[in-house]
A and B are shown apart, each in its own frame.
Chain A
Amino acid sequence: MLAQQSILRLDATAIDYIIIALYFVFVLGIGYLARRAVSNSLDFFLSGRSLPAWVTGLAFISANLGAIEIMGMSANGAQYGMPTVHYFWIGAIPAMLFLGVVMMPFYYGSKVRSVPEFMLRRFGKPAHLVNAISFALAQVLIAGVNLFLLATIVNVLLGWPIWVSVIVAAVIVLSYITLGGLSAAIYNEVLQFFVIVAALLPLTLVGLHKVGGWQGLVDKVTASPGGSEQMSAWPGNALSGFGNSFLSVIGIVFGLGFVLSFGYWTTNFVEVQRAMASKNMSAARRTPIIGSFPKMFVPFIVIIPGIIAAVIVPELAQFKATGSGEVDYNDAILLLMRDLLPNGMLGLAITGLLASFMAGMAANLSSFNTVMSYDIIERYIIKDRPDDFYLRTGRWATVAGTLIAIGTAAIASGYSNLMDYLQQLFSFFNAPLFATFILGMFWKRMTAAAGWIGLVSGTATAILVFVLSETGVINLPGQGASFVGAGAAFVVDILISVLVSTMTRPKEDSELVGLVYSLTPKAQRTEVVLRGDHGWYRRPVLLAGISLAMTIVLNIVFG
């Protein structure tokens, strides 16, 4: 447990607390306002499928811009430098574009209400149940980690006891989600996005000014223990753990860029749910594509401050040089705030951090209640009730999810490294899920049995690689072990699925229309141009092309 008196304590004054309090008034106000729009379960779980694309697009990235992203990526920035951008430019953008261009028509077009429900339609009950339960379990565990991290930060920064901040944060998130459902979560995510930018952008600019601009930063990092390779993104040996530069590039592109990130962004219901809430097919496809534009610039306000902190904050520079000290990389952004921001802006920066931590937890809970109500309770436990029963179920599922999250936060508090393990384990669930999805969407011969057997064997493979690397049989430092594990899970899942498919009976073609690429007429896969969808800047594929081109340019400039 962290000490009450910490060198990270920020001297927040009345004005900072006013800024923080104001934000929470708005958060709860949005929950209250959104409540008026909720009249049935579809309103609650999918915002009545009525939101404009820029709202769902910002929510799409904001749901992911939680504690793990901001603290983790700035820590990675402080430790590894520029190669961390791969988590964004290689590890997120291509997958987000793929989701919008290729996969969204199946999700939105088939009118399923969740990702597990797509599994049900394509592969039947066993695969559905495996997916729904592992997803629900993962969400409450991650929500607990987010909650604990939030409480830790409040404890260190402001000195509140851990248990008080856990409960206060849980109550706030709970109130706005039970009131307004997904709309409240999404609207708050959009608000959070702007507050996070307003908090981190000034920090980055002041930091850059302090080190003497971009050139000053390059000089300082080159002179530091990191050396000049920390200022260029490729080949990123330190990040991937491969000594060989060629293998490192392959590892990053295939492991991180293909399997891990495609698995995460295209099958994770927390993300996909945001797109499902949009008003029509065109808006649904544009959701991840619009999100990709701000996403490609997030590294500049998350990773760059981390790099700056490692060269100008004395305690952190000392830690980087000697490997010991009172602080570590996770504190990078907090130390920079402490050293650079005057009261006022400091309050806003704390608000931004709190906002981002709550965003993560709210996203977990709002997808947990949907899967719990639609996929587990309605499907297997209490069937055929009127709609308002499931609306109430959703509200109670949120309450239950929050209580469980308080419990899992307590578990999380016992393990200092739990977050890393969770991250790895859940990325292992995603890699096989992606393999099953992609095969199922493009190969109509794939059978129901192959669906769940492939899923289970892929996950088992990932866990095996994880155990081997933990016990030292495979030795890959950095993030290399999870890249390899994800790759192996993906390959095994595909192989097993193909093998099982050849031995079992496929579903009838007529049952797969709208679910499999070759059996879905083109008209059903593309959007009808609706009123309000005109203009070249609203065409999904063109927008995706622009986004991809910009990402390539960024890779070249910062390569």
Chain B
Amino acid sequence: MADKKKAGAFDIRIVIATLVGIYGVVLTVLGIVEKQAEIDKAAGININLWGGLGMLVFTAVFVLWARLRPIAVPVDSKPADE
């Protein structure tokens, strides 16, 4: 790891995933306890539930991406030698 350095101070993907993940949990819970009047307002779609679930899926994808391709850039960008 001598020639690697962390790019910047942190991984923005994790920050984004955390915020969207929290939103996802909040909205999903709201969706589960949703009153019928609110569902009718959104043309019969339980948008809090579906939106929340969609955000949880997004969070999972981002965390997976960050896990599979962690950021580490060479200290100086030398031409590739392969």
User: Which residues in A have some Cβ–Cβ distance to B below 8 Å?
Assistant: 15, 18-19, 22-23, 26, 29-30, 33-34, 36-37, 47, 50-52, 55, 183, 187, 190-191, 194-195, 198, 202, 205-206, 209-210, 279-280, 339-345, 348, 528-534
Contact = CB atoms under 8 A, between A and B. Distances in A.
Contact of A343 (B8, B20, B30): B30
Contacts of B77: 279-280, 530-531
Contacts of B27: 344-345, 348
Given A342-B39, A348-B23, A534-B80, 13 more contacts: A23-B19, A33-B10, A36-B9, A52-B7, A190-B16, A191-B12, A191-B16, A194-B16, A205-B45, A342-B38, A344-B31, A345-B48, A530-B77
B44 A209 contact: yes
Contacts of A26: 15, 18-19
Contact of A341 (B12, B47, B54): B47
Contacts of A339: 41
Interface string B33-61: 01000110111110110110011001000
Interface residues of B, number: 38
Nearest to A210: B43
B79 A202 contact: no
B8 A191 contact: no
B70 interface: no
B19 to A, nearest CB: 5
Given A37-B9, A532-B73, A209 B43 contact: yes
Contacts of B7: 50-52, 279
A190 B16 CA distance: 8
10 contacts: A33-B10, A52-B7, A52-B71, A202-B50, A202-B51, A344-B27, A344-B48, A345-B42, A348-B51, A533-B80
- Chain B CB within 10 Å, residue with most, of A190, A206, A343: A206
A529 B43 contact: no
Contacts of B74: 531-532
A15 B43 contact: no
A342 B37 CA distance: 9
A19 B41 CA distance: 20
B12 A342 contact: no
